[in-house]
């Protein structure tokens, strides 16, 4: 309502045996109010406060109201007038004693004749108010939250002890109002984020500190086909494929050590479908920084993976499709991207367009992996094939490729390592250019000797003026094995943090020296998989094995 209510002092209303605030036992007043409000909180606390305050101070009315600054109005949280509670009590403060309380932020006490001081306040006249006392509710930042007030139709003498009590309960009311507002803000925030989470297109998981799922949104349920009740209480690993579960078992500690984490995996839906996912997560902590749970936002990558699978097919079509036996050479090559597509590259240059030069093999490695690296690899392959079909030494080819690539990757931070080799079986010569790539290995089983094909050379894309030089090796003999790989092989790690290393790589070549090139290649890949215990590769791996027969 917009005006103060009128009360009538009849036989049905509370009677008062003494003047307001007169001859009070302050301890008794304090006890009465404390006992009346001790067990109450929230709205019930405010109601108990104003009722017990009015009874203890022997006033006909008491109320507590919150201040609405934008409209300069007070809205009651609880109001007790003439022995009953009032509801929907709201009024403008302009021209009222409450305006003085709010604007001056202090206790205001009119012992008598309050209506004369505020002639424009028709409500005071209407209820026959004679005396008034109000105190502001002020938070720690000095902001006015509202007021606590009493009034009566009789004079209200000043009692310092009672005024102190009034301030005490105003402070208690302020604390309760702040608590309620904080709770309301938390509820509104929770509801806001609940709506965001529930309407989000991606899945949401809330987990306790032991990774037990305590809440999910509808999007996640739809993603994997389980109901919320079927998911609650499980761990993410319970919903994972065998490979993803093994990844989580090995990597959980490392993942949880990161403040924010991003990783991929595959879940098994209720109908058996495999659902590729991308997870963004972080840890929830309390005020002391202790972990209390975890959250994860889960994106269904099915359509994305389909697009990447198409790109993977295109990229694989650009690589040699079969092993070769040509001019006394037994050749096998293989490339595995750690993602669907990658930045590793190998190629065999032979055929009519390359008839002016001996058989050539190229192995390259673009920094990084994924779509960006794959696109750069495709561009580099196209230029290299075009230039290699023209006349010139392999050093000239690599120099021109470097100038071309440097302009493409300028300011991107990317570069490409390359090993370009020609094999002249007629005279037993090797010619190669090494552009920042790991040296190729030549193993001679007769002498049990391993030789690295080194040579100075900067990675492509770093300095367009760098001059690459051609290196030569003579005296190739039957049975020798040449292996050109990328660092994703020997720099692979297992679950214990051990690196595969070149020593182990070389030992597999030694053990299989009598086998064909494809068998040697497969033996290395098999040993690498065994070393990593089936873990997903963290880098692209490419290997070409050539056996001279």
Task: Give the pair of three-digit tokens for residue 58.
Answer: 């022997």
pLDDT digits (tens, 9 = 90+) for 14-48: 444 445 555 556 666 666 666 656 666 778 888 88
Residue ranges of the chain with pLDDT lower than 70? 1-40, 190, 192, 194, 196, 199
Count of CA atoms in the C-beta half-sphere (13 A) of 342: 21
Cβ proximity of 78 and 88 under 8 Å: no
> What CATH number is given for 306-548 in this structure?
3.60.40.10
The angle at the Cα of 438, spanning 432 to 439, to the nearest 5 degrees, equals 45
- Separation in Å, CA 319 to CA 374, 422, 430: 12, 18, 23
Q: For the CA atoms of 275, 279, 284, 290, what is the dihedral angle to 10 degrees?
A: 100
- Compute the distance between CA of residue 492 and CA of residue 531 in angstroms, rounded to an integer: 9
Cα–Cα nearest to 194, from 218, 212, 210, 211: 218
Whether the domain at 26-185 and the domain at 201-300 fall into the same CATH topology = yes
Cβ proximity of 177 and 202 under 8 Å: no
Q: 132 phi and psi, to 5 degrees? A: -155, 145
Task: For residue 387, give every residue at least 6 positions away whose Cβ sits within 8 Å of its Cβ, in sequence order, or none.
Answer: 397, 400, 401
292: part of which helix (H) or strand (E)? strand 291-300
Cβ proximity of 109 and 127 under 8 Å: no
- Compute the distance between CA of residue 520 and CA of residue 500 in angstroms, rounded to an integer: 17
User: For the chain, what's the residue count?
Assistant: 549
**Residue ranges per domain, the chain?**
26-185, 201-300, 306-548
Model pLDDT, residue 15: 40
Domain made up of 201-300: CATH architecture:
2-Layer Sandwich (3.30)
Model pLDDT, residue 8: 40
Count of CA atoms in the C-beta half-sphere (13 A) of 439: 13
Task: Give the pair of three-digit tokens for residue 387.
Answer: 């230039």
Cα–Cα nearest to 485, from 472, 508, 502: 502
CATH of 26-185, one of 3.30.540.10, 3.30.450.40, 3.30.70.1560, 1.10.1060.10: 3.30.450.40
Model pLDDT, residue 37: 63
Model pLDDT, residue 487: 93
228: part of which helix (H) or strand (E)? helix 228-231
């Amino acid at each position: 309502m917009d005006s103060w209510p009128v009360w009538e002092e009849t036989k049905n209303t509370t009677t008062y045996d003494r003047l307001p605030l007169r001859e009070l036992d302050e301890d008794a007043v304090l006890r009465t109010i404390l006992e009346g409000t001790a067990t109450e909180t929230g709205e019930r606390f405010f109601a108990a406060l104003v009722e017990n305050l009015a009874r203890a101070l022997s006033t006909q009315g008491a109320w507590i109201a919150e201040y609405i600054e934008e409209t300069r109005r007070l809205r009651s949280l609880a109001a007790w007038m003439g022995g009953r509670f009032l509801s929907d009590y709201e009024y403008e403060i302009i021209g009222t004693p409450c305006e003085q309380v709010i604007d001056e932020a202090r206790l205001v006490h009119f012992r008598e004749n309050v209506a004369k001081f505020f002639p424009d306040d028709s409500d005071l006249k209407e209820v026959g108010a004679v005396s008034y006392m109000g105190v502001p509710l002020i938070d720690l930042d000095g902001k006015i939250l509202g007021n606590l007030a009493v009034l009566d139709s009789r004079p209200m003498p000043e009692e310092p002890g009672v005024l102190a009590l009034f301030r005490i309960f105003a402070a208690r009311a302020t604390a309760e109002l702040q608590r309620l507002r904080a709770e309301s803000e938390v509820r509104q925030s929770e509801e806001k984020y609940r709506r965001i989470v529930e309407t989000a297109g991606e899945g949401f998981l809330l987990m306790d500190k032991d990774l037990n799922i305590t809440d999910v949104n509808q999007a996640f349920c739809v993603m994997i086909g389980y109901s919320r009740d079927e998911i609650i209480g499980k761990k993410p690993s319970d919903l994972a494929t065998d490979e993803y579960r093994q990844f989580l078992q090995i990597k959980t500690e490392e993942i949880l050590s990161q403040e924010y984490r991003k990783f991929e995996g595959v879940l098994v839906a209720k109908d058996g479908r495999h659902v590729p996912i991308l997870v963004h997560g972080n840890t929830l902590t309390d005020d002391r920084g202790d972990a209390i749970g975890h959250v994860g936002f889960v994106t269904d990558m099915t359509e994305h993976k389909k697009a990447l699978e198409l790109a993977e097919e295109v990229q694989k079509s650009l690589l040699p499709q079969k092993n070769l036996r040509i001019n006394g050479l037994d050749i096998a090559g293989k490339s595995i991207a750690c993602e669907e597509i990658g930045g590793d590259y190998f190629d065999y240059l032979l055929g009519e367009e390359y008839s002016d030069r001996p058989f050539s093999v190229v192995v390259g490695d673009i920094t990084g992996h994924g779509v960006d690296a794959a696109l750069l690899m495709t561009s580099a392959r196209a230029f290299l094939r075009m230039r290699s079909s023209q006349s010139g030494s392999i050093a000239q080819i690599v120099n021109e490729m470097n100038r071309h690539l440097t302009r493409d990757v300028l300011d991107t931070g990317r570069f490409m390592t390359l090993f370009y080799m020609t094999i002249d079986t007629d005279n037993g010569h090797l010619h190669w250019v090494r552009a920042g790539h790991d040296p190729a290995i030549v193993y001679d089983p007769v002498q049990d000797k391993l030789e690295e094909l080194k040579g100075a050379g900067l990675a492509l894309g770093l300095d367009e003026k760098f001059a690459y030089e051609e290196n030569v090796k003579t005296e190739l003999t039957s049975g020798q094995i040449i292996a050109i790989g990328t660092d994703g092989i020997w720099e692979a790690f297992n679950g214990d943090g051990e690196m595969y290393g070149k020593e182990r790589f070389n030992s597999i070549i030694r053990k299989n020296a009598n086998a064909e090139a494809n068998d040697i290649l497969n033996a290395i890949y098999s040993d690498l998989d065994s070393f990593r215990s089936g873990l997903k590769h963290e880098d692209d791996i490419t290997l070409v094995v050539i056996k001279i027969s």
